[in-house]
Amino acid sequence: MRDMSKWPIQLSDFTESMDEYSRELSKLFELLMEVLSRDLDLESENSLNESVGGERKGLHIRINYYPPCPQPDLVVGLAPHSDPNVLTILLHDQTPGLQIRKNGAWIDVQCVPGALVVNIADQMEILSNGKFKSIEHRGVVHKDRSRMSWAVFCSPPRDVLVSPKRELIDEQHPPLYQGASYGEYLTKFFKKGLEGKGHIHDAKQQDSLVSNS
């Protein structure tokens, strides 16, 4: 689902570029989902694509602009969070600012010209029953340079129920997450706002929290 009808006709070059970019990212997303399906040993390589609505999947872009700030330590650029969707494909300029949290420490994501950054997001953690973990990340500001990032969120449609893939569940591997429609998950996400990995934590089955919190 790439609804180009909402884009401005006055900025036709921009709209055309976005149309082409989103078409290419849609293909890349499908390919990544095939690779991840194989990695999970799912029966079909279309398995994950089917779980997120196939052709009905959504691509939404957020363009972030971080102005320079002389006292970057006193400012929150974008608060720590994991993304609520399935995968996020991100392009950023040459000013550092994206950080991921690994073992409690914040690590800079390198700016490699022409490279895309792919983040695992919450619905992928749920579908894979925790085998892939969504990544907590934040945006920090730079003391004398501005920064831009273009984040494309690949998502199921709101009516699609997302729960751990049945093939990954057996007696040794009970479902760790409750199923919910993506719409329900998103409503809770926006109600509470950005809060680290709090949302995916709330989606965990209560009895799995003792061993998997």
Residues that bind ligand AKG in the complex, under the rule CB under 6 A: 62, 64, 78, 83, 90, 92, 98, 137, 139, 149, 151
With CB cut-offs between 5 and 8 Å by kind, which of ligand AKG, Fe ion, none does residue 62 bind? Answer: ligand AKG
Q: Return the number of the residue (133 or 208) whose C-beta is nearest ligand AKG.
A: 133
Q: In what order do the strands lie in the sheet containing 87-92?
A: 58-66, 147-155, 87-92, 117-120
Q: How far is CA 34 from the centre of its chain?
A: 17
Q: Which stretch binds Fe ion (CB under 5 A): 80-88, 123-131, 140-148, 203-211?
A: 80-88
With CB cut-offs between 5 and 8 Å by kind, which of Fe ion, ligand AKG, none does residue 92 bind? Answer: ligand AKG
80, 83, 86, 204: residue in contact with Fe ion (rule CB under 5 A): 83
Residue 203: partners with Cβ closer than 8 Å, 6 or more residues away: 122, 126, 177, 178, 180, 185
Question: Which of 74, 78, 54, 53 shows the shortest CA–CA distance to 65?
Answer: 78
Q: Which tokens hold the place of 189?
A: 């996400």
Contact between 122 and Fe ion per CB under 5 A: no
Shortest Cβ 151–ligand AKG spacing (Å): 4
Q: Return the number of the residue (137 or 204) whose C-beta is nearest ligand AKG.
A: 137
Measure the CA–CA gap between 15 and 19, rounded to whole angstroms.
6
